[in-house]
Structure 1
Amino acid sequence: MRILVTKPIKVIDPSELLRPEPAFADKPIGQFRDYSIDEDDPIKERVRKTYHDMHTNQTVDFVKGQMNKWLKFTHFEANIKEALEKLNELVDESDPDVDIPNIVHAFQTAERIRQDYPDMDWFHLTGLIHDLGKVMAFYDEPQWAVVGDTFIVGCEWSNNIVYRNTSFVNNPDGKNSKYNTKHGIYKPGCGLDNVIMSWGHDEYLYQVLKHNKTTLPDEGLYMIRYHSFYPWHQSGDYTFFENEKDAEMKKWVQLFNKYDLYTKSSNVPNIEKLWPYYQSLIDKYIPGILEW
């Protein structure tokens, strides 16, 4: 059955997002990713709770179970446009910077990349689709198993994971001697492809694209697979697991990060007008109906 949703999907009207007033606004770079705690701020509390649930439940066994569940690619069939339109209904509960449908962020990211790198069409498309794995949220997955920063399970948790000091208290892997040492179940230099990441939209979309034989280059696939892995690409943690390819590709993930993060603003693209261009890229790199 190639049905993604059970009701018609309408591409968002950007003007509707700004009525009666902006839901968010441009702000200085230093104010992005503010994970301070404020019980009176509903967005901050939503973010804190999402990460608390994530860090309590993301264990080695949980991730293996999610891989077994999702990597059979039998949940639904849909083309890229249909999946993107579904993001019209999703607000990321882990994001302290925006409170708008995810499809808007997708086009903001892609268009800013296109502006700076007009000749790298695969980069534009990567920006557009990087969050598509979040469609899992429409198939009974809690957002803590879909969104947010990722980290490696099966070894000691990085000190630079958000809410690190308080949110892992009830995670059983922290009391398991196989998993709570620096290297845990891995060997130094094993490569990121050989560690187990916390389960979320990054890994899922990467695996969906590989399964459906995308022709996006490795640079784009690394951006998709690791763009939420902030402890690695921003804090410099887990480098002891890198191989040469990981170290080389990190610079591409870091380049992508500034477009993923700092394009979140009140500048909402005209999505309907942009569809023909991005459809041409979809047809080039990820055509047809995909198994999800």
Structure 2
Amino acid sequence: MPSGIGQPLSIVNLIDPSEHLRPELKFAAKALECFRDYSIDENNPIKERVRKTYLEMHTNQTMHFVTDRIQQWTSFSTFKSGIMDALEKLNNLVDESDPDNSIPNIVHAFQTAERIRLEHPDDDWFHLTGLIHDLGKVMAFYDEPQWAVVGDTFPVGCQHAPSIVYRDTSFVNNPDTYDERYNTKFGIYEEHCGLSNVTMSWGHDEFLYRVLVHNKTTLPEQALYMIRFHSFYPWHSGGDYHHLCDKKDLEMLPWIREFNKYDLYTKSHEIPDIVALKPYYQKLIDKYIPGELEW
């Protein structure tokens, strides 16, 4: 694998169904009729691409797979980079699951951050969280399959909840579905054990969370929760998995929901002046996540 983030880049056409396939619309600020229809249509290439991505994800994201990925990626030996350079890398990541918005992920990062900054002007850590929340997607440049980078996350090691996207059809070939250790409501977990003790499906949320902790970020606990669980829609919007939550999880839930309204509903064709904004965000990076990080 490449050893440095400064290597020549190729565009990764990253299919991110998490941006499009949403059974929950409670965060939406616009009329429901403005949202796309996400029904299955084999003749629609976009819908099929999304469906197939989730099928691969839900077939392959097992306890064994996630354990293996954690071991691999938490060696933090894939590359070294500062935050802003990693963001620049996302300039070469195009989300092909979004037919209405083909802008690179770096633009989405600044759009999210700037909307948070507008509505939460005094919380500079929140601005930075919006900027970096998708940085874990850099795994896509280092041979990680798309279904292990993007999309909604869910716990492994217990029963798959009803609100998971494509739940009824997509787990039929996942061996954990038939494993008595993992296919009950609690599986390997205790009631109210806390999400910090739950193994989540592998993706950009968990990876970035672990990178930040490893590199000793001083971002507050709210920020780390937002980053780690912003794609955990079956919990924070679907209403499932509360039986695994502890008091701290429930205290953090409003923060995650507050973050998600900026993440999901700030996309537009209005491109922020990234060059002009960089000095402000670099100051925040230097404050909370300085220097070169191990990824």
Q: Following TM superposition, by how much is the alpha carbon of 1:170 offset from its aligned partner in structure 2, in angstroms?
A: 0.6
Q: Distance in 1 between matches of 2:57 and 2:216?
A: 30
Which amino acid counterpart does residue 274 of structure 1 have in structure 2?
L
Distance 1:259 1:32, change over 3 A: farther
Matched, 1:120 2:123: yes
Q: Which residue of 2 aligns with 1:240?
A: 243
CA RMSD of aligned residues (A): 2.1
Q: Following TM superposition, by how much is the alpha carbon of 1:94 offset from its aligned partner in structure 2, in angstroms?
A: 5.6
Alpha-carbon contact 1:50-1:93 (below 8 Å) kept: no
Note the alpha carbon deviations across 1:76-135, whole angstroms, 9 max, x for none.
000001110111111345667743311111111001001101111000000000000000
Identity of aligned residues (%): 67
Note the alpha carbon deviations across 1:27-86, whole angstroms, 9 max, x for none.
746645753222333322221111111001000000000000000101100000111011
Select 2:135's aligned residue among 132, 138, 144.
132
SS of alignment partner, residue 118 of structure 1? coil
SS of alignment partner, residue 91 of structure 1? strand
Q: Following TM superposition, by how much is the alpha carbon of 1:267 offset from its aligned partner in structure 2, in angstroms?
A: 1.8
Q: Following TM superposition, by how much is the alpha carbon of 1:152 offset from its aligned partner in structure 2, in angstroms?
A: 0.4
Q: What number of residue pairs does the alignment pair up?
A: 277
Q: Distance in 2 between matches of 1:247 and 1:279?
A: 32
Distance 1:89 1:30, change over 3 A: farther
How does the TM-score come out when normalised to structure 2?
0.89
SS of alignment partner, residue 186 of structure 1? coil
Q: Which residue of 1 aligns with 2:255?
A: 252
Note the alpha carbon deviations across 1:211-247, whole angstroms, 9 max, x for none.
0000000001000000000000001110011111000
Aligned residue runs from structure 1 range 89-238, under 5 A: 89-92=92-95, 98-238=101-241
- Give ranges in structure 2 of 5+ residues lacking alignment: 11-28
Distance 1:201 1:47, change over 3 A: same
- Give ranges in structure 1 of 5+ residues lacking alignment: 10-25
Q: Which moved more, 1:96-105 or 1:216-225?
A: 96-105
Which amino acid counterpart does residue 66 of structure 1 have in structure 2?
R
Alpha-carbon contact 1:215-1:286 (below 8 Å) kept: yes
Q: Distance in 2 between matches of 1:111 and 1:172?
A: 43
Q: Distance in 2 between matches of 1:5 and 1:68?
A: 25
Q: Distance in 2 between matches of 1:170 and 1:196?
A: 20
Q: Which residue of 2 aligns with 1:3?
A: 4
Q: Distance in 2 between matches of 1:33 and 1:110?
A: 25
How does the TM-score come out when normalised to structure 1?
0.90
Q: Which residue of 2 aligns with 1:261?
A: 264
Q: Following TM superposition, by how much is the alpha carbon of 1:160 offset from its aligned partner in structure 2, in angstroms?
A: 0.4
SS of alignment partner, residue 152 of structure 1? coil
Which amino acid counterpart does residue 220 of structure 2 have in structure 1?
P
Q: Distance in 1 between matches of 2:102 and 2:48?
A: 13
Distance 1:187 1:74, change over 3 A: same
Alpha-carbon contact 2:3-2:78 (below 8 Å) kept: no
Alpha-carbon contact 2:226-2:259 (below 8 Å) kept: yes
Q: Distance in 2 between matches of 1:172 and 1:93?
A: 29
Alpha-carbon contact 1:92-1:147 (below 8 Å) kept: no
Which amino acid counterpart does residue 6 of structure 1 have in structure 2?
Q
Q: Distance in 2 between matches of 1:220 and 1:38?
A: 38
Q: Distance in 1 between matches of 2:294 and 2:98?
A: 28
Q: Following TM superposition, by how much is the alpha carbon of 1:5 offset from its aligned partner in structure 2, in angstroms?
A: 4.0
Which amino acid counterpart does residue 187 of structure 2 have in structure 1?
G
